[in-house]
Amino acid sequence: MLGATAHADGLFPLPNLQPGNPSAPTPDPAAPAPSAPATPGAPAADSGAEPPLGVQPVPNTPVESLPEHADHANIAEPGPQPGTKASALAAVTPSFTREWVVSPSGNDAGDGSAAQPFRTIAKAITQANPGEVVRVLAGTYNERILLADNVKPGTAEAKITLQGEGRPHLIPGNGGGALVQVRRPNWVIDGFDIDVQGQAFFGVTFEGNVQGSVLANSELHHGGGGAGVTTFGNATGATIENNHIHDFVRNTGNKDSHGVVVQPTSHDITVRNNDIHDNSGDSVQCLGPEGFSSLPPADGLVVENNHLYGNRENAVDIKTCHNVAIRNNRMHQFRPTSTAKGDVVVVHYSAQNVTVEDNEIYDGAKGISVGGNHEGPLPTGIIIRRNRVHDITTEGGGEGTGIRLENSNGTVVVNNTIARVATALIIGHGTGGPTQSPVVQNNIVDAAPVAVDLGGQAPGMKMAANLFPAGAQFKQNGALQGLDQFKAATGDTTSTSGPSDLGEAFAPGAAAVDKGTDVGLPFCGASPDIGAVELGC
Ligand SMILES: [Ca+2]
Ligand SMILES: [Ca+2]
């Protein structure tokens, strides 16, 4: 009941809303997830190389040096697999038709030129037209930035840029609401230090038509509200990119303060290449309406190439939201707490069409969890593929599970590599409903005392072409058995056991190369490889 508590606290803005579009097309669950929309603030590089897993060190942005943190190195090659696209990022040098200047030593009676800068951002933004830039010089600004009817909208071809220079320091000062409130399309907010100073406000909010609006290259930190960034009120088309978001902490109520929270009625939101950590809730949460509203769920969310770690709850928490892609992220450092079980990624409530692919997940108590809490329909259209899930531990009372399917309809778990866990897969224990017709194929399990723990509620399960460690133990309704017995009981005729001989970055060995079954994903060589990495491309 996270939403209920958040709403009761009055920290989630929930204005009058127009209903969303319930008939929005849904992707074919068998197809690769859609590419993210182009982001004008950082267009895709055309080097032809796939971007690495995890955050990319885009030059001259706050994330440039973050991958050098201890234990935070991006995984080595091979990187993402054929058919999966994330956007490679590059720094850009835009040109502007006119500039306005704001300085702590300025005066709003000036003309906003470099010689006579304004004193307040509020003054400058009312002057700016499409294609122009507001340069905010270094210093501290004790004001709220409201981009609403008081400013012009940018256009797709000519955005309006609010450019911090020397990381100007925004602090809450007097007044209420988020430090930056975006309600206009095609505005770029770039290069700020947004310091919420422990107050119960969001750092940045997006609301209404914000198509093409971007929060980029900023640091957001030390808030005590619902999140660093939120989208709500039919927020459509916002991008949150290249930011460092950390230390959003609440110690009251449900204690949830997230890096980014996407609320019901949001559409087409992109969260890309951010470093988000040490929050009291999740790095990224897609909040469903359960318990606090009858609004339509968020529809269209891409969470890619982020580095998400060390929160009190989860890296990514997807509740009732539709059409979500979580890909190419590096996520780690989660342990059980009073309100969470150390799950790194959770997909639950009535989530629909959620693809979790090409992520690296490690150092948690549970890698990926589907189902559990729900009201109404089971999660459906969930695809978990080509993830590297490793070093999942029972430390601190954790379950030590790679992937757990608790309840859902038609979840597909294919081509994952799960290594160094207590139990690789837990399926169909039935809390909150059955795990209906799961598909579990082409996965490598390496170094797990229990390979699969199968409960009595996985009707229609299809299990095939997995590679288990030699001597692997399986559990069926609590009874231990060997592979042959497990295969006979589950109708699996093609899974094998043997050494997976995992190489660098979990490259598969001979028992896995070209030994998989065709699950409709692109592959190289004679047949698909088993596991998350396809060799020979
Ligand atoms: Ca959570
Ligand atoms: Ca192959």
For 371-396, what is each residue's pLDDT tens digit? 988 888 999 999 999 999 999 999 99
How would residue 1 be classed by pLDDT, with cut points 50, 70 and 90?
very low
Q: Summarize pLDDT for 425-436 with one digit per residue, the tens.
A: 999 999 999 999
Reported residue count of the chain is: 537
For the CA atoms of the chain, what is the radius of gyration? 24
| 3-state DSSP assignment of residue 14 | coil
Mean pLDDT over the full length of the chain: 88
CA nearest to 459, candidates 495, 502, 506, 408: 408
For residue 135, list its beta bridge partners.
101, 163
Nearest to 327 by CA among 372, 376, 368, 279: 368
Assess if residue 449 is contained within a domain: yes
CB 367 within 8 A of CB 403: yes
Largest distance between two CA atoms of the chain: 83
Ligand 1 geometric centre to CA of 314 (Å): 5
Q: 434 in a domain, yes or no?
A: yes
- Measured between alpha carbons, how far is residue 334 from residues 89, 285, 411, 415 in Å? 28, 15, 24, 24
How far, in Å, CA of 110 to CA of 411, rounded?
61
Asked if residue 87 has pLDDT above 80, the reply is no
Q: What is the pLDDT of residue 203?
A: 98
Residue 22 has what pLDDT? 30
Give distance in angstroms: CA of 346 to centre of ligand 2: 30
Of 270, 269, 216, 266, nearest to 245 by C-alpha is 216
Ligand nearest to the CA of 308: 1
Centroid of ligand 2 to alpha carbon of 433 (angstroms): 36
Q: Does 120 fall in a domain?
A: no
Domain that holds residue 252: 2-15+133-506
What average pLDDT does the segment 447-458 reach? 96
**pTM value?**
0.90
Nearest ligand, CA of residue 256? 1
Q: 319, 292 in Cβ contact below 8 A?
A: no
Cα separation, 261 vs 403, in Å, equals: 24
Overall domain count for the chain: 1
Q: Is the model's pLDDT at 91 over the cut of 80? A: no
What is residue 230's three-state secondary structure? strand
- Among 395, 241, 227, 383, smallest CA distance to 304 is for 241
Instruction: Give the model's pLDDT for residue 56.
Output: 75
Give the separation between CA 152 and CA 93, rounded to whole angstroms: 23
| pLDDT at residue 211 is higher than 90 | yes
Rounded CA-CA distance 270/462 in Å is 33
| 428: in domain | yes
pLDDT score at 14: 29
Q: Note the pLDDT of residue 71.
A: 66
For residue 169, being part of any structural domain is answered with yes
Ligand nearest to the CA of 522: 2
Higher pLDDT, 366 or 60: 366
The pLDDT value recorded for residue 360 is 94
pLDDT in tens, 311-362: 999 999 999 999 999 999 999 999 999 889 999 999 999 999 999 999 999 9
Residue 63 has pLDDT above 80, yes or no: no
Instruction: Decide if 261 is inside a domain.
Output: yes
Is pLDDT above 70 for 9? no
Give 160 Cα–ligand 1 centroid separation in angstroms: 35
Query: Nearest ligand, CA of residue 373?
Result: 1
Query: What is the pLDDT at residue 62?
Result: 66
Report the CATH number that the domain containing residue 316 is assigned in CATH: 2.160.20.10
Confidence of residue 273 (pLDDT cuts 50, 70, 90): very high
Rounded average pLDDT over 156-181: 94
**pLDDT at position 51, please?**
62
Distance 517 CA to ligand 2 centre (A): 10
H helix or E strand, kind and range, residue 203: none
32 or 275, higher pLDDT: 275
Distance 350 CA to ligand 2 centre (A): 35
